Amino acid sequence: ASVKQPYRTSYHFQPPKNWINDPNGPMIYKGIYHLFYQYNPKGAVWGNIVWAHSTSKDLVNWIPHVPAIFPSQKSDINGCWSGSATILPGYKPAILYTGINPQNQQVQNLAVPKNLSDPYLIEWVKSPHNPLMAPTATNGINASSFRDPTTAWMGPDGKWRVIIGNKRDRMGKAILYRSKDFVQWTEAQDPLHSADNTGMWECPDFFPVSAQAPVGLDTSIIGPNVKHVLKVSLDDTKHEYYTVGTYNSVTDKYVPDEGSVDSDSGLRYDYGKFYASKTFFDSKTNRRILWGWINESSSVDDDIKKGWSGIQAIPRAIWLHKSGKQLVQWPIVEIEKLRTNQVHLPNKLIKGGTVLEVSGITAAQADVEVSFEVKELEKAEALDPTWTNPQMLCSQKGASVKGSLGPFGLLVMASRGLQEYTAVFFRIFKGHNKYVVLMCSDQSRSSLNNNNDKTTYGAFLDVDPLHEKLSLRTLIDHSIVESFGGGGKSCITARVYPVLAVEDGTHLHVFNNGTQSVGVPKFSAWSMKKAHIY
């Protein structure tokens, strides 16, 4: 007697059961991708944390392995928390991670592969010198806010650098350490960066991006056409923010270009659910690839009933937009090999008030690419200057609220009679001296089961509808709706748990609930095959 599992995903990473959270130590070694992740071997809630481990040749299909790092030393006996991998000279991977010691202090540890000729790197040995970095009476580091070492980078002086998330009072910090040999680490006088009133910085990520081309850079690269990105995961709000800025490798200071890590106005990788993310440099394809944890929106009781909680987002290639002002993300191309049975709609004009069903695809397991074209932009409603919070705007102006230019977009995970649907859509407003595009993911009607968090998400999308089409790509996988607006300039991920719109009862529609018509010059949808994940 098996429990029905309509919410398990088919091509997003998840283990057969139990709780997962942060992606850890992603890397490529001898042509094999490694993903480690925070895992509770004993249940569907957080606890008993070890590093579970899977490998892949294509980032789509995975082979599960035994946990790589689990409590075994004083310095991690109460848990093996998040950390990162660095490839050391001589092609030797090394993992720095946070251990919880017998006093429940957070300390940083090193583990290295037992056997470098095993491409799967199944067994890991911990340094006898652990912990390598620890709170002490003299360094004043708060022992409950000192975790999540990044991938290390090497400075021009030949020394390794790593940052660790921290806070002091309300100030979030990226504490910097340096080392010659990766074993003996010395705390720098000043943090790499800090920001007031942001609380604990979990899972920082710090990496170079090319200001010239949409490619990835290895983590130690510096140079004239290189900018840097600092991402932090804010414990207080469970949202991630990043800045683009300049890193001075002599002073070891990072200065954001403009604005700062700020929980209200900063840039986010994803304006929905996406946390504790981490990038790695894929030396095989010269991409930087982003992994992120997607938590459930169901109740803890439901998680325990279904026996699992948490998935990983589809890995995303990430690069600096040519404006230099923001990052762009796109699902790794490898995922496209799961596409099958393409449904294509010819160029169409969709009148206001239309809901158009797209048939012929498995709507609960699909990849949809659509673009919209708006002719009469002068009909846009005026943007009230006080409407500065896109999420609030999307909540107040959900999919059922008629506008002029929009809402138009997709109704996904929809039941036959539209009692349930998740709406991913755009609205165009007339701003001060430009058009403003709002992108929303409205979960308010996603399920008849009210025990789910159905919060609506929203983001502004920096696209000029005068000169560009509005594109939307949405990956649908049973209980996840992962959307990429404007070619990946704004991303919104949502979790949904419909009661009626499950499996074959799931439908897909294009809709326009504005008064003005919109063109749909491009529409392709694919059913997605199941990936081998465990």
Instruction: Give the CA angle between residues 319, 322, 326 to the nearest 5°.
Output: 60
User: Which of 203, 313, 413, 531 is in the footprint of ligand DQQ by CB under 6 A?
Assistant: 203
DSSP 8-state secondary structure symbol assigned to residue 433: S
What's the CA gap between 197 and 212, in Å, rounded? 34
Cβ closest to ligand DQQ, residue 82 vs residue 446: 82
R_g (Cα) of the chain, nearest Å: 23
Q: Which of 16, 56, 10 is nearest to 307 (CA)?
A: 16
Sites for ligand DQQ among residues 355-414 (CB under 6 A)? none
What's the CA gap between 44 and 301, in Å, rounded? 10
Closest approach of ligand DQQ to the CB of residue 290, in Å: 15
Q: Which of 22, 139, 125 is nearest to 81 (CA)?
A: 22
Can the peptide bond before residue 131 be classed as cis, meaning omega within 30 degrees of 0? yes
Tell me, yes or no, if 302 is annotated catalytic: no
Determine how β-strand 153-154 pairs with β-strand 146-147.
Answer: unpaired
Cβ closest to ligand DQQ, residue 99 vs residue 403: 99
Provide φ and ψ at 337, rounded to 5°: -75, -10
Based on the shown chain and the rule CB under 6 A, indicate whether residue 294 belongs to the binding site for ligand DQQ: no
Based on the shown chain and the rule CB under 6 A, indicate whether residue 240 belongs to the binding site for ligand DQQ: no
Q: Sketch the per residue contact string, 94 through 123, with ligand DQQ: x for CB under 6 A, - otherwise.
A: ----x-------------------------
For the beta sheet containing 63-69, the strands, ordered from the edge strand earlier in sequence to the opposite edge, are: 63-69, 50-56, 32-40, 18-29, 308-309
What's the CA gap between 315 and 521, in Å, rounded? 28
What's the CA gap between 242 and 82, in Å, rounded? 19
Closest approach of ligand DQQ to the CB of residue 474, in Å: 26
Based on the shown chain and the rule CB under 6 A, indicate whether residue 276 belongs to the binding site for ligand DQQ: yes
Q: What is the DSSP secondary-structure string of 17-62?
A: SEEEEEEEEEEEETTEEEEEEEEETT-SSS-S-EEEEEEESSSSS-
The tokens for 467 are 């000169």
Cβ closest to ligand DQQ, residue 98 vs residue 298: 98
Cβ closest to ligand DQQ, residue 42 vs residue 57: 42
Based on the shown chain and the rule CB under 6 A, indicate whether residue 22 belongs to the binding site for ligand DQQ: yes
User: Which of 82, 101, 151, 512 is in the footprint of ligand DQQ by CB under 6 A?
Assistant: 82
User: Which of 76, 202, 367, 477 is in the footprint of ligand DQQ by CB under 6 A?
Assistant: 202
| Beta-bridge mates of residue 316 | 290, 331
Sites for ligand DQQ among residues 316-345 (CB under 6 A)? none
Cβ closest to ligand DQQ, residue 151 vs residue 422: 151
Closest approach of ligand DQQ to the CB of residue 439, in Å: 26
User: Which of 76, 148, 296, 477 is in the footprint of ligand DQQ by CB under 6 A?
Assistant: 148
The amino acid at residue 338 is L
Cβ closest to ligand DQQ, residue 83 vs residue 488: 83
Based on the shown chain and the rule CB under 6 A, indicate whether residue 474 belongs to the binding site for ligand DQQ: no
Sites for ligand DQQ among residues 494-523 (CB under 6 A)? none
User: Which of 38, 512, 513, 527 is in the footprint of ligand DQQ by CB under 6 A?
Assistant: 38
Based on the shown chain and the rule CB under 6 A, indicate whether residue 147 belongs to the binding site for ligand DQQ: yes
Instruction: Tell me the CA end-to-end span of the chain in Å, nearest whole number.
Output: 21
Closest approach of ligand DQQ to the CB of residue 75, in Å: 14
User: Which of 19, 36, 39, 81 is in the footprint of ligand DQQ by CB under 6 A?
Assistant: 81
Q: Provide CB contacts within 8 A for 81, sequence distance 6+.
A: 38, 49, 97, 98, 99, 100, 106, 147, 148
Residues in contact with ligand DQQ, counted by CB under 6 A, come to a total of 13
Residues designated catalytic: 22
Interface contacts to ligand DQQ, rule CB under 6 A: 21-22, 38, 49, 81-82, 98, 147-148, 202-203, 275-276
